[in-house]
Amino acid sequence: MTRRPKSLEQWVEEVAAHTRPRNIHWCTGSDEEFDTLVAQALADDTLRPLDQERYPDCYLHLSDPSDVARVEHLTFVCTTDRDDAGPNNHWMAPDAGHAKVDALFAGAMQGRTMYVVPYCMGPIDSPYSRCGVEITDSRYVAINMKLMTRMGDAALRRIEADGSFVRGLHSTGDLDPERRFIMHFPEEMMIKSIGSGYGGNALLGKKCHALRIASYQARSEGWLAEHMLIVGVESPTGDTHYIACALPSACGKTNLAMLVPPASQPGWKIWTLGDDIAWLHLDDSGRLCAINPESGYFGVVPGTNEDSNPNAYRMIQHDTIFTNVARTDDGEPWWEGKAVGEPAFDWRGRRYDPNGGPAAHPNSRFTVAASNNPGYSELAEAPGGVPLTAIVFGGRRRELAPLVFEARDWRHGVLVGAGVASETTAAMIGEVGVVRRDPMAMKPFCGYNFADYWAHWLSFTERSDRLPRIFHVNWFRRDAEGRFLWPGFGENLRVLRWIIDRCEGKIGATETPIGYLPKPGDIDTEGLDIDAQTMESLTAVDIDGWSQEMASIGEYLESYGERLPAALRRERDRIAAQLAEAS
């Protein structure tokens, strides 16, 4: 048996005394254990079988209809000083936070098995990785953690060696939204989540640890924990550039990370390193290197098909847990945009009614091990990560934001990231399609005050002169009739190629107050059904619109008060003045 650190055993005992489970299971992470957990989940209906011939080892989980997305209004960062959490987080004093959830945890696991899930975020032997232990009463969570993280004995051994770990306590409770809280105690490296079984709230290694707690820890240790995919873009001559891209939830990070070059781009290859989270460290030579702390994908299903994301479509034909998709009469999973089959049962398990809303929930998900991805990069396991050529920020904006532009330098890039705005999506409970500021796509995930976070980002210029170049993209521009102007999906490679050409110093750009924009003809549009006028509107800067945008960014930044870094304010003022001059 792998040695269990004393402090961990003690904590497990304390939690068990408080939550009173029927029994305790320490997860080893073995394949046999996984098979047993799945068999038990099938027996108690947590998982439902899908057609095992067409979808081998694929299962369906249907959650409580009130529990299908992240709950930002119930997510708290509990720091001693309220200002450390910042206006970007809901805050509770640590004592009050503990008291609130501890009362709900009392006896919460009665009659249930308590799973102790040791996990490692990042390759087991990477100096950049960090470990945690999730205690949960959800078998679904234990099963998903095996797919999403390096889970079990190997992680336990690393915890023993590291001497520290993030503690995450989770119970599905009674699933009552009134008794649902996702609490973070970054000063104690602790998470307590109750009342939800949904991935982002319950798989604590993901958003809670790898973003909220890790971002807090990263600040004091000099690195960055970001809501970014990581891809390797290999050119026909065999050079590979690594790019990290921050897009808000459900804005196509998985599609971009798994892009398959269209026939029009012969010789290009895309390697996936991560689809959601990147931990960024400066190496000894000043390069910013990225690791993906996860080892699986928890991706949005609707819209995935042979054309939009062929690798993802193939990847989820086997060994996949589907959550809240629909089913066909012959037991195949079905979702809007699948392009084959007909739904017979909807995501609530009811007979499908075409007038009763979508068959699959818009935030239905697949969970799958990253090794299932035909484009998984070997370097995803590299302990030192991959050096980044570019960082790309983006949002979902029907207007204003051009297809792509480049920041003048790192400081300007930090402003570009801080000013990101995007339409809300089904990934969290609330209205969909409302434009809100989502700095660095981290609005729901930054575990401390954004003002301090921007200061931390800015500080990297003092530590390295080899930082990646920073860009901004928007795949989601529409015309007056609501049609997308840019085809997106695999064709986004054309934009990545422009980004790489810029980084290699191969091409010029048009200098504008908001940054460098592509010159006509520099983005390859050959073979696309897109005319020069559309390209012109995708790459033009609307000076008046941007003047208003800068005013709105200014107001937003000022809401952070005195903690706002002066350098960021100056950068905004400089661009606002240039826009005023240009108008």
Name 28's Cβ contacts closer than 8 Å, sequence gap at least 6.
2, 152, 153
Binding residue for Mn ion, selected from 129, 201, 217, 249, defined by CB under 5 A: 249
Selection from 276, 240, 278 nearest residue 128 by Cα: 278
Q: Which of residues 471-490 bind ligand OXD (CB under 6 A)?
A: none
User: Residue 511 CB: number of other CB atoms within 10 A?
Assistant: 11
Please, which residues bridge with residue 422 across strands? Answer: 436
The rounded distance, in Å, linking the Cα atoms of 560 and 83 is 10
Q: Which stretch binds Mn ion (CB under 5 A): 8-16, 246-254, 349-357, 554-562?
A: 246-254
Active site residue 251: yes
> What is the nearest approach in angstroms of Mn ion to the Cβ of residue 478?
23
3-state helix, strand, coil in the chain (%, to 5): 35, 25, 45
Block residue for tokens 């500080």? 459
| Closest residue to ligand OXD: CB criterion | 249
Cα gap 123→385, rounded to integer Å: 9
Residues 6+ apart with CB under 8 A from 305: 313, 337, 338, 339
The first and second tokens of residue 529, run together, are: 């059904």
Which of 201/547 has CB closer to Mn ion? 201
Please identify which residue in 134, 137, 275, 276 interacts with Mn ion, judged by CB under 5 A.
Answer: 276
> Cβ 199 to ligand OXD, closest distance in Å?
6
Pairing of strands 278-282, 288-291: antiparallel
* Residues β-bridged to residue 376: 272
For the bound state, the minimum distance from the C-beta of residue 394 to ligand OXD, rounded and expressed in Å, comes to 14
How many Å apart are CA 185 and CA 163, to the nearest integer? 19
Q: Which is nearer to ligand OXD, 108 or 427 (CB)?
A: 427
Binding residue for ligand OXD, selected from 75, 149, 249, 304, defined by CB under 6 A: 249
Residue 60 DSSP class: E
**Which option in Mn ion, ligand OXD, none does residue 70 bind, with CB closer than 5 to 8 A by kind?**
ligand OXD
401 to 189, 283, 437, 460, 474: CA distances (angstroms): 38, 33, 13, 26, 6
| Pick 201 or 249: Cβ nearer Mn ion | 249
Are 448 and 219 a contacting pair, CB within 8 Å?
A: yes
Site for ligand OXD in 265-294 (CB under 6 A): 276
Decide which of Mn ion, ligand OXD, none touches 410; Cβ closer than 5 to 8 Å per partner kind.
Answer: none
Based on CB atoms, which residue is closest to ligand OXD, 296 or 413? 296
DSSP letter (8 states) at residue 158:
H
In the complex, the smallest distance separating the C-beta of residue 473 from ligand OXD, rounded to whole angstroms, is 17
Q: How far is the CB of 228 from ligand OXD (least distance, A)?
A: 11
Least Å from the CB of residue 425 to ligand OXD: 8
For residue 544, what are the contacts with CB-CB under 8 A and spacing of at least 6?
A: 583
Q: Which does 346 bind (CB under 5 to 8 A by kind): Mn ion, ligand OXD, none?
A: none
By residue count, the chain amounts to 583
Using CB under 6 A, pick the residue from 70, 98, 443, 472 that binds ligand OXD: 70
Contact map string, positions 204 to 243, toward Mn ion, x by CB under 5 A = ----------------------------------------
Using the rule CB under 5 A, give the single segment among 214-222, 248-256, 295-303, 516-524 that binds Mn ion: 248-256
CA separation (Å) from 42 to 53, 69, 376? Answer: 17, 23, 29
Residue with tokens 């990560």: 385
> Among residues 254 and 525, whose Cβ is nearest to Mn ion?
254
Pick 132 or 515: Cβ nearer ligand OXD: 132
Binding partner of 381, given Mn ion, ligand OXD, none, CB within 5-8 angstroms per partner class: none
Residue 316: CB minimum distance to Mn ion, A? 17
504 contacts: CB under 8 Å, gap ≥ 6: none
Pick 185 or 297: Cβ nearer Mn ion = 297
Per-residue DSSP letters for 181-205? EEEEEGGGTEEEEES--SHHHH-TI
Catalytically annotated residue among 78, 120, 251, 446: 251
CB 257 within 8 A of CB 274: yes
Partner interacting with residue 298 (select from Mn ion, ligand OXD, none; CB below 5-8 Å by kind): ligand OXD
State the helix-helix crossing angle for 543-558 and 566-582, rounded to 10 degrees: 160
**CB 328, min distance to ligand OXD, A:** 25
Start-to-end C-alpha separation, the chain: 71
Give me the phi and psi of 393, to 5 degrees please: -100, 160
Q: Which of 60/203 has CB closer to Mn ion?
A: 203
215 counts as binding ligand OXD under rule CB under 6 A: no
Count of residues near ligand OXD by CB under 6 A: 7
DSSP 8-state class, residue 351 = B
Using an 8 Å Cβ cutoff, are 136 and 171 in contact?
Answer: yes
In the complex, the smallest distance separating the C-beta of residue 191 from ligand OXD, rounded to whole angstroms, is 16
Q: Which of Mn ion, ligand OXD, none sits in contact with 72, Cβ below 5 to 8 A by type?
A: none
Which CB atom, from 184 or from 572, has the smaller least distance to ligand OXD? 184
Task: Determine which residue in the list 86, 122, 200, 394 makes contact with ligand OXD, applying CB under 6 A.
Answer: 200
Q: Closer CB to ligand OXD, residue 169 or residue 427? A: 427
Task: Answer for the pair 91, 350: CB distance below 8 angstroms, yes or no.
Answer: no
From 181, 185, 297, 298, residue interacting with ligand OXD (rule: CB under 6 A): 298
Shortest Cβ 430–ligand OXD spacing (Å): 12
| Residue of 77, 427, 499, 576 that binds ligand OXD (CB under 6 A) | 427
* 242 contacts 290 by C-beta, under 8 angstroms: yes
Residues at the site binding Mn ion, with contacts judged by CB under 5 A? 249, 276
Catalytic residue list = 251
Which residues of this protein are in contact with ligand OXD, per CB under 6 A?
Answer: 70, 199-200, 249, 276, 298, 427
